[in-house]
Amino acid sequence: MTWQFVIAGAAVGVLVGMTGMGGGSLMTPMLILIFGFNPKTAVGTDILHGAVFKSFGALRHRQLGNVHVPLALWMLVGSAPLSLVGVQIASSFSDATQSTMGRVVGGALILGGIGFALKMFIKGQEAEADLHLSRRDKIAAIIVGATCGFVVGLTSVGSGTFFGLAMLLLYPLTAPRIVGTDLLHAALLLWVAGAGHLLHGNVDLHAMAWLLVGSIPGVLIGSHLSIKVPERALRTAFAFTLILSGIKLVEVPYATTIIEVALAAGIAALLGWLIVQWRGRRERRRRLELAAD
C-alpha cells in the first residue's frame, strides 16, 4: 500500500495544520485498526514519523518566538532517558503478547483523550512576559518529562497532549508559547524515542516515508486554510475518537456496540448542529429581507 498511507498522512497533517491539535495521536490507532500493523511496529513508526513531522512545526514556532527553549530542554532531561525505558519495554513484547501491547496502547489513548478534553476546560495561569525558571520549576519540568516521556516511548501517545496539559497547569505561559514549547520538546523527544525504536526494528520505513509524503504538505496546506472550524466541537470529536479507539484496543466487552452507539450519537449531534446552523442562517436572511423592504 502506498496511496492509502499518503491519504492517512495528509488527513492528519491537514487536521494539525488547521487546528493545532495533536492529530499525530490518531496515527497509532489508525495503523493498528485500519492498516493491520502489530502494536509495536505501529508505535515505532508513529514516533519516528512524528519526529520528522513535528520538527517542521517546531522550527516555524521557533522563528515566531513562541518557544520557551529552557523549559523544553529541562523537560527533555527527564523525558529522553525515560522514553528509552519505554522503548525497551515495548520492544520486549513478543509476537505472542502483541494483544497485551495493544491493550497498553488502548489505555494510553483513553487517558490521552480524557487529557485532551480537560485542556478545553482548564484555564491557565496569568501569563508572564518572560518566564524565568526557578529551581522548583526545573525540578517539576524534569518530573513531568520523566513521567510522560515513559508513556510516549512505550505507546507513542501523549507528546501533544500530556506535556501541553502539564505546562498549562504549572507554568504562566501564553497559549502560543505553550504550543511552541510543546512542539519543540515533542520533536526532540520523538527523535530520541524514534531512534530507539528504529534500532530495535520497530519502524516500518516504507510506511513512514509515504505517511510523510502526505503529512508534510498536509500540515502546510492546513495552516493556510481559511475555513472557519467550530473548534470546541472539533476538539470534542477528537477527544472522543481517541477514547473510542482506546476502548477498541483495550477490548472492552461490547466495544463494537459502544462504538456504534457513540458514532450514532455523534452523527445525530452533527446533524442537529447543521440544522440549527441552517435555520439560523435562514432566519437572518429573512430579517435582512424584511429590513430591506
Domain ranges of the chain: 3-252
For residue 41, give Cα distances in angstroms to 46, 59, 99, 105, 154: 8, 27, 13, 12, 11
76 pLDDT band, cuts 50/70/90, is: very high
226 pLDDT band, cuts 50/70/90, is: very low
- CB 163 within 8 Å of CB 186: yes
Radius of gyration of the chain (CA): 20
d(CA 234, CA 231) in angstroms, rounded, equals: 5
Q: Which of residues 32 and 119 earns the better pLDDT score?
A: 32
When pLDDT is averaged across residues 266-270 and rounded to a whole number, the result is 73
Q: Which of residues 219 and 198 earns the better pLDDT score?
A: 198
Least confident of 76-80, 145-149, 166-170, 229-233: 229-233
Which of 101, 39, 51 shows the shortest CA–CA distance to 211?
Answer: 51
In this prediction, residue 251 carries a pLDDT of 74
Beta carbons within 10 angstroms of residue 224's beta carbon = 8
Quote the cell numbers at residue 234. Answer: 472539533
Roughly what angle, to the nearest 10 degrees, separates helices 135-155 and 69-91? 30
In this prediction, residue 223 carries a pLDDT of 63
Identify the three-state secondary structure at position 37: coil
Say yes or no to pLDDT of 89 above 80: yes
Say yes or no to pLDDT of 200 above 90: yes
d(CA 248, CA 196) in angstroms, rounded, equals: 27
Write out pLDDT tens, residues 131-190.
788 999 999 999 999 998 999 999 888 777 788 888 888 888 887 788 788 888 988 999
Q: Which of residues 287 and 144 earns the better pLDDT score?
A: 144
Write out pLDDT tens, residues 24-33.
577 888 888 8
